[in-house]
Amino acid sequence: MKNTENGIRKTFKAVLDYIKSKPKQKVAVACAADEAVLKSAEIAANEKILDFIFYDNAEKIKKAAHTYKVDISGFEIVDTPDEQISAAMATQAVREGRAQILMKGHLSTGMFLKAVLDRQNGLRKSKLLSHIQVFECPVTGEIKMISDGGMNLYPKYEDFCHITSNAVDAFEKICGRAPKVALISAYNRPDPLLKTSIDMAAVCDDLKIFSRGEQVAIKGPVTLDVALSEKAACKKNIKTGFNGPADILIVPNIETGNLLGKSLMYFTQSQSAGIVCGTSKPVIMLSRADNFSTKLNSMALGSLMSIFD
């Protein structure tokens, strides 16, 4: 469901400005003794936009805070003995409503997802979870999305349906308008030699029939240049069905999404964020190498999605 009554949000700054005017959401962080997590949490707390509960070894957090010169005196800390317990308790806090957003700190993705996907105490909602990288386009400065470069290895037809649907839901909540969606391939037409191009064409046909809303424009398979450039589409005589660059890029596999996302982050220094979709509550899952800016942006997106849940 779109949330346009409060305006369209095009940038991370617009998202941050919006959540400042709303009730503070609380983030439960599993294994918070991490420089980027602590610094981004300190900024968010100082800006009065988020509250936090840290789940980790208490002495470890205090030592990290001292090392990185972060004031943690105002944060709630729950002392836990190991990663597994930290992830389980943070997830439980969100499930029970003591926090509204779950965040992965300095622990393995497998350990974190084990808690999220736990049948009794986890946060799984839909059949398929997917990861979305949100970034500010280096050309236009506007928010765009890539999915799935973080969770699903080699999606097939049904997977692409869920991944696309999850991304559309997230975009509408975050940006407040219907998106333009492109399913990215090496070809601009279905080709039997490339199975994903066949699946993508089928997804487009189905999502047009079982509409997510008449304003959601979707095209695929298309090459990246056609998805992002009207000029390229015109020269190749391809009609995408929408004007301007796509807002959401659905990639054929995890390798493509991971490479495209990290290329944007490291070659262009684009502002970025990451969030998991298909859960009952917002889940932030980032690389341990991501900086505090990426973690702060992700916290802001989690807050916004929680507000609209």
Give ∠ CA 176-262-259 in degrees, rounded to 5. Answer: 105
Same-domain pairing of 142 and 265: yes
99 plus 151 within the same structural domain = no
Domain of residue 247: give its range.
133-274
Does one domain contain both 11 and 73? yes
The two structure tokens encoding residue 22:
């709303």
Residues 190 and 292 in one domain: no
Please check whether residues 291 and 163 belong to one and the same domain. no
- Give 203-224 pLDDT, tens digit per residue: 988 776 555 555 788 899 999 9
Query: How many structural domains compose the chain?
Result: 2
Residues of the chain predicted below pLDDT 70: 1-7, 208-214
218 shares a domain with 194: yes
- CA 234 to the chain's CA centroid: 31
pLDDT value at residue 291: 86
* Same domain? 246 vs 290: no
Residues 156 and 261 in one domain: yes
Same domain, 147 and 227: yes
283 plus 251 within the same structural domain: no
- Return the CATH number at 237: 3.40.718.10
112 plus 168 within the same structural domain = no
Q: Are residues 86 and 101 in the same domain?
A: yes
